[in-house]
């Protein structure tokens, strides 16, 4: 007993104690704020329902983008910072298709076919750019130290941003409104905006498809093998380069689809639009445990929910003025909180034993 | 005798020394044929580019009207982007301050840029006239000496915020209002002036919220605002966030019928692009174009001819006036040398700008007070119609004015 205690004492460093105190303080603040908010009774149940739906819609988009970060991290152990530009390129290009459909009236007559085309265009452009990016910017540097591809990724991010700014202009474009998705569905006291239901459903379908692709198919198995151990999979006859390219293409497709959903939700596209969602999705991937696919999904949805519900729930009760300005602060404090108690994210990094 | 000569000589030197260096901030010497450099620091790229492009065009037309020349020296204009944020303003001002050829500056556009930028310019002895900074702080008596080189030709938001509040109470007869700002100097102060006046006139402010300029999902904050059941929402912010709020407000339960009002920062065709159909029926406070001087009509014709479109934002005429004011001040203080050169004292130029009185500008009579407020502010309230959004043009006649 005494021996155990001694061993425990050796393992706890002063840093740990400081971290726990910070974590405990954040947790106490959250509990105190939430209790005060709920006690004040300013929001009724349908308000909370609205907050949750808004958060889910935003979160499922983060989850789709986070897939790209986590997949690439899985196979290459690098953070692809240009992923936010992959996210931007697809819907921005598809905007021109959407605008043409809108002007000709095709969008209103055949909304589903138009949407399908818009999604396809966005996904093809995004995955094409992801493919080229890997081929041109990352592959030649694969044997270089880990810091070098990271800096290259940041450079590629700027390059792509300003290429698109040059191509499409620095102003923003308004995405056309899809009429069938306007309005809302009501269930008694609760209601849900149609396009948010569409965004949540579409994202859920895509995430399920992606997950089963990685888990069930031969290619998915090969990708998982590459992320476990590149050399061993090479010896087993897996074309490693091709699997890495495939990973980028899949991540790009998810980002392109997420981009169109984002454009449908916010109806604006802009050359800089990828930056903030990109950072948030990266956070989501770390939150869930980077390299871990269900973790990225969970992290994205968790982050979306916290951003939407957090300011009202945690800060309103503390009497803080204009809490929504602090939305990002809350999201990132949650990241700190999660990493203090679970340094590898909610579901943990999924790495092969020898690399962990 | 020797002593007398010595005293006289010393005395003469003593008199002539201050006479030669004249200006306590130094002088700019422009050789014969060399240009007079006027630097513009404006938002000419990015999502708020319409604001800067509008004032840039005003300055360009003023230069053309002047024949491109002051006192036989060509006018050289240079443009620096400021990004509509504090960092951009600081970077642009630092760049300008390092260039000794700059005689005077025009800018900035967003008040957040002016706050860190103006002291940097003034430290280098560059006076700046802003065509569109409206935040009260910049010409407040308590602003400090580092803003001594700052003037503006646009209105002070003490006027604009009050007009919006009066309109809400007197014309729309609403009792409960909410405000949203984006943390920028401009929006925060304008929202505060509105709230103060609204309360003074007997209304209730249900919420004073804030968002970040980069936010896209406004539904949560709007849901929160909806719990106070306001009849009127005032959000004097910028285009991107303003567009998102306008689009999303109708989707939030309880806000379907709430009247919406923005300010001059989103009075632009670009805002109609961002907000689309949802902008129809909303109100804007902005300078009253119909109260502008007679020259405004021919200005619009020149604008149409030169750029092939209508003005993009409300501050083109203020840009024109800022440039004209600087030209007149340079003419007043520049000393011609016998070799065709010009000498301009920096302090003298600043003083001449501050001494501008009864100057006939496009926006009205320009009279600078001792804190640099020069405008003759006439603010009207505009209402957006379906045609405005469809053709991407701003309404040109206010529906209500307080005077």
10-residue stretch averages of pLDDT, chain A, 356 residues long = 73 82 86 85 82 90 91 87 92 90 86 90 93 92 87 92 84 80 80 87 91 90 88 89 92 92 86 88 88 88 90 80 82 84 78 44
Give the bridge partners for B365, in sequence order.
B360
For chain B, the domains span 27-154+315-372, 158-286+380-391
- Rounded Cα distance between B89 and B390, Å, is 34
Q: Is pLDDT at B116 greater than 70 in this prediction?
A: yes
Residues of the domain holding A70: 45-274
Distance to chain A for B274, nearest Cα, Å: 6
The reported pLDDT for the residue numbered B7 is 57
The token pair that represents A15 in the structure block: 């840093």
Own/partner contacts of B363-369, CB < 8 Å, gap of 24 or more, are B363/B153, B363/B154, B363/B287, B363/B292, B363/B293, B363/B317, B363/B318, B363/B321, B364/B291, B364/B292, B364/B293, B366/B153, B366/B321, B366/B325, B368/B151, B369/B139
Choice between A317 and B221, residue whose per-residue pLDDT is larger: B221
Distance between alpha carbon A210 and the CA centroid of its chain, in Å? 14
Residues of A in contact with B277 (CB under 8 A): 177
- Name the residue of chain B whose CA is nearest to A162's CA: B46
Cross-chain CB nearest to A321 (options B46, B208, B227) = B208
Kindly report the pTM of this predicted structure: 0.81
Alpha helices for B124-266 (secondary structure H)? 157-166, 185-200, 219-226, 239-249
Q: Assess if residue A283 is contained within a domain.
A: no
Is A54 within 8 Å of B220 (Cβ atoms)? yes
User: What is the rounded radius of gyration, in angstroms, for the C-alpha atoms of chain B?
Assistant: 23
- Nearest residue, CB atoms, A322 vs list B210, B252, B273: B210
Q: What is the pLDDT, as a whole number, of residue B9?
A: 54
Residues in A closer than 8 angstroms to B46, CB to CB, are 170, 272
Q: Indicate the pLDDT class of residue B192, thresholds 50, 70 and 90.
A: very high
Inspect the interface and report whether the beta carbons of B276 and A174 lie closer than 8 Å: yes
Residues in chain B: 403
Do the Cβ atoms of B214 and A276 come within 8 Å? yes
Q: Where residue B6 falls among pLDDT bands split at 50, 70, 90?
A: low
Per the domain annotation, does A355 fall within a domain?
A: no
How many beta carbons lie within 10 A of that of residue A80, not counting itself? Answer: 29
Within-domain flag for A303? no
The Cα-based distances of B53 to A43, A330, B114, B132 in angstroms read 44, 37, 17, 12
pLDDT band at B62 (very low <50, low <70, confident <90, very high): very high
Residue A205 in domain? yes
Tell me the C-alpha distance between A348 and A291, whole Å.
9
The residue of chain B with its CA nearest to that of A42 is B227
User: Buried (b) or exposed (e) across B247-258, using 16+ Cβ within 10 A?
Assistant: bbbebbeebeeb
Measured CA to CA, the distance from residue B188 to residue B110 in angstroms comes to 12
In a domain, A252, yes or no: yes
Cα–Cα distance, A262 to A254 (Å, whole number): 12
Instruction: Tell me which residue in B244, B270, B277 faces A266 most closely, judged by beta carbons.
Output: B244
Same-fold call for B27-154+315-372 versus B158-286+380-391: yes
Residue A255 maps to a domain: yes
If you average pLDDT over residues B14-36, what whole number do you get?
Answer: 73
Distance from CA of A143 to the nearest CA of B (A): 37
Q: Which residues of chain A approach chain B closer than 8 Å at the C-beta?
A: 42-43, 46-47, 50-51, 54-55, 58, 170-174, 177, 184, 191, 193, 265-268, 270, 272, 275-276, 307-309, 311-312, 316, 321-325, 327-328
Number of domains within chain A: 1
Q: Taking residues B99-104, what's their average pLDDT?
A: 92
The answer as to whether A192 is a domain residue is: yes
Percent of chain B clearing pLDDT 70 (strictly above): 95
Q: Which chain A residue shows the shortest CA-CA distance from B246? A: A266
How is A22-91 classified by DSSP, letter by letter?
Answer: HHHHHHHHHHHHHHHHHHHT-S-HHHHHHHHHHHHHHHHHHHHHHHHHHHHHHHHS---TTHHHHHHHHH
Which pLDDT belongs to residue A4? 75
Q: Which of B49, B217, B252 sits opposite A58 (nearest CB)?
A: B217
CATH number of B158-286+380-391: 3.40.50.2300
At residue A79, the pLDDT reads 87
Distance CA A230, CA A75 (A): 8
CB–CB of A65/A87 below 8 Å? yes
Residues of A in Cβ contact (< 8 Å) with B223: 47, 50-51, 54, 312
Task: Please compute Rg for chain A using Cα positions.
Answer: 22
In whole angstroms, give the CA distance from residue A269 to residue B246.
Answer: 16
User: Of the candidates B265, B260, B234, B237, which has an alpha carbon nearest to the alpha carbon of residue B165?
Assistant: B234
Homologous superfamily of the B27-154+315-372 domain (CATH): Response regulator (3.40.50.2300)
The span from the CA of A91 to the CA of A108, in Å, is 19
Residues 6 or more apart from A155 whose CB is under 8 A from it? Answer: A137
C-alpha distances (whole Å) from B296 to each of B45, B363, B373, B399 are 26, 8, 21, 20
When CB atoms are compared, the residue of A47, A177, A311 closest to B276 is A177
Interface probe for A, chosen from B251, B268, B277 (most Cβ of A below 10 Å), is: B251
The whole-angstrom separation of Cα A145 and Cα A136 is 17
């Amino acid at each position: 007993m005494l021996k155990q205690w001694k061993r425990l004492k050796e393992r706890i460093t002063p840093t740990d104690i400081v971290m726990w105190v910070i974590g405990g303080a954040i947790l106490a603040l959250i509990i105190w704020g939430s209790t005060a908010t709920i006690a004040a009774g300013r929001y009724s149940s349908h308000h909370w329902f609205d907050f949750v739906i808004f958060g889910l819609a935003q979160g499922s988009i983060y989850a789709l983008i986070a897939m790209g970060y986590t997949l690439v991290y899985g196979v290459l152990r690098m953070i692809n910072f240009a992923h936010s530009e992959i996210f931007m390129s697809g819907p921005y290009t598809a905007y021109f298709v959407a605008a043409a459909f809108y002007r000709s009236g095709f969008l209103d007559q055949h909304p589903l076919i138009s949407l399908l085309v818009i999604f396809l265009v966005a996904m093809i452009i995004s995955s094409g750019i992801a493919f080229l990016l890997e081929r041109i910017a990352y592959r030649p540097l694969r044997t270089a130290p880990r810091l070098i591809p990271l800096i290259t990724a940041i450079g590629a991010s700027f390059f792509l941003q300003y290429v698109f700014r040059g191509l499409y202009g620095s102003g923003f474009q308004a995405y056309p409104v899809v009429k069938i998705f306007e309005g809302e569905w009501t269930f008694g006291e609760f209601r849900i905006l149609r396009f948010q239901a569409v965004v949540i459903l579409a994202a859920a379908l895509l995430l399920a498809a992606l997950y089963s692709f990685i888990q069930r198919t031969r290619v998915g198995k090969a990708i998982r093998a590459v992320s476990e151990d590149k050399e061993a999979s090479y010896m087993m006859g897996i074309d490693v380069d091709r699997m890495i390219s495939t990973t980028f293409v899949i991540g790009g497709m998810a980002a392109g689809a997420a981009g169109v959903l984002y454009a449908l939700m916010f109806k604006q596209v802009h050359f800089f639009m990828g930056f903030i969602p990109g950072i948030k999705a990266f956070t989501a991937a770390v939150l869930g445990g980077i390299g871990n696919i269900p973790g990225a999904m969970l992290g994205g949805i968790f982050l979306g929910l916290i951003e939407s519900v957090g300011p009202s729930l945690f800060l309103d009760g503390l009497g803080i003025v204009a809490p929504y300005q602090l939305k990002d602060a809350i999201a990132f404090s949650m990241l700190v909180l999660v990493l203090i108690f679970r340094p590898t994210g909610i579901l943990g990094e999924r790495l092969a034993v020898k690399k962990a | 005798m020797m002593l007398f000569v010595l005293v006289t000589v010393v005395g003469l030197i003593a008199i002539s020394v201050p006479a030669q260096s004249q200006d306590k901030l130094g002088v700019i010497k422009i050789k014969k044929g060399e240009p007079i450099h006027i630097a513009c620091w404006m938002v000419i790229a990015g999502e708020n580019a319409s604001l800067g492009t509008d004032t840039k065009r005003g300055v360009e037309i003023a230069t053309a009207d002047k024949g491109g020349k002051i006192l036989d020296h060509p006018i050289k204009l240079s443009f620096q982007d400021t990004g509509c944020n504090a960092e951009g303003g600081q970077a642009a001002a630092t760049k300008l301050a390092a260039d000794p050829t700059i005689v005077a500056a025009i800018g900035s556009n967003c008040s957040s840029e002016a706050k860190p930028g103006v002291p940097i310019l003034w430290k280098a002895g560059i006076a700046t006239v802003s065509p569109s900074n409206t935040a009260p702080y910049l010409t407040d008596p308590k602003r400090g000496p580092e803003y001594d080189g700052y003037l503006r030709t646009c209105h002070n938001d003490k006027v604009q915020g009050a007009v919006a509040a009066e309109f809400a109470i007197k014309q729309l007869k609403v009792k409960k209002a909410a405000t949203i700002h984006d943390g920028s100097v401009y929006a925060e102060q304008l929202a505060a002036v509105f709230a103060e006046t609204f309360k003074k006139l007997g209304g209730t402010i249900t919420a004073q919220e804030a968002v970040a300029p980069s936010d896209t999902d406004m539904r949560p904050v709007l849901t929160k605002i909806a719990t106070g059941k306001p009849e009127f929402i005032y959000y004097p912010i910028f285009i991107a966030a303003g567009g998102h709020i306008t689009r999303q407000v109708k989707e939030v339960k309880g806000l379907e019928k709430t009247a919406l009002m923005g300010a001059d920062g989103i009075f632009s065709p670009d805002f109609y692009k961002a907000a689309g159909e949802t902008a129809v029926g909303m109100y804007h406070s902005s300078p009253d174009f119909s109260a502008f001087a007679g020259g405004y009509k021919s200005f619009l014709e020149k604008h149409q001819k030169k750029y092939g479109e209508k003005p993009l934002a409300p501050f083109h005429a203020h840009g024109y006036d800022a440039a004209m004011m600087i030209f007149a001040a340079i003419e007043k203080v520049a000393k011609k040398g016998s070799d065709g050169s010009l000498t301009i004292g920096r302090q003298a130029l600043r003083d001449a700008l501050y001494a501008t009185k009864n100057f006939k500008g496009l926006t009205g009579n320009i009279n600078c007070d001792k804190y640099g407020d020069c405008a003759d502010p006439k603010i009207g309230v505009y209402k957006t119609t379906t045609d405005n959004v469809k053709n991407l043009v701003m309404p040109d006649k206010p529906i209500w004015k307080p005077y």
